[in-house]
Structure formats: structure tokens, C-alpha cells
Amino acid sequence: MFQLVLFTITLFAGSDAVIKQYDTCNLLLHDRYSCNEDNLCFYGCHEGYCWSQCNAVAKFTWDGPPGTCSTTYHLNTNIEWCWLDGDSFADRTCMVDSDCDHVKNNSCRGTCSVG
């Protein structure tokens, strides 16, 4: 009986972790970047341009919903990222992370790389 109770507790504890994996951005880096809750990708402003997390190598191991970023993959705490596309040059430029809110769901403007 004790083993059954222990198994049940372990099962529920593990399932809670899996659910969180698909609910928010990578918890390891959550305090560093802004999280786009729509696609679980980090995004922000870097060197005056809008960027977003993306999946390159991570896509081979990510089993989350299509169009979402891996919430577990990182390479020595570095995520895969790309510059975001916009309708004009002004759309892609920024001073702070919130300047990128209007393009955070856009596709990459170039390759997805680790850095």
C-alpha cells in the first residue's frame, strides 16, 4: 500500500513539472529576459534592435506545441536567438524591451543562433 501511495505522489509531482514546462518560458533564465507568453519565447532589446528566442538545434528535442520555443534547451545558459523582422527599420529598433512588444510574435530576420 505504501508503495502505491508513493508512486501516486511521484506521478503527480512529475506531471506538475511537465505542465509548467509548457506554460512559461525557460525557468532557468526567467529573471533575465522578458517572456512572450504567446509562444514561450524570450524577447527584448539588445544593442538597439529587437530579438527573440528561436529553435535551431532545440527543435530536435522540443516536443512542445508547434510554434513555441523550447523551455528546456540552453547551451551553457545561452539560448538560441535571432533578430526580429518588422515592416520597417523603425519597427525593429528599440531602447528597452517593451519597445519590442509590437514585433515579439514576428518571424526571424536572419538565422537562429546561440549566443
- Spans of all domains in the chain: 2-114
Mean pLDDT of 28-39: 88
Rounded CA-CA distance 29/77 in Å is: 8
- According to the model, what pLDDT value does residue 29 have? 82
Do 106 and 86 form a contact (C-beta atoms < 8 A)? Answer: yes
For 41-52, how does the pLDDT look when each residue is reduced to its tens digit (9 = 90+)? Answer: 999 999 999 999
Query: Which cell numbers hold the place of 12?
Result: 503527480
Rg (the chain; Cα; Å):
17
For 48-80, how does the pLDDT look when each residue is reduced to its tens digit (9 = 90+)? Answer: 999 999 999 888 888 888 889 998 888 878 899
- According to the model, what pLDDT value does residue 20 have? 62
Q: What is this structure's pTM?
A: 0.77
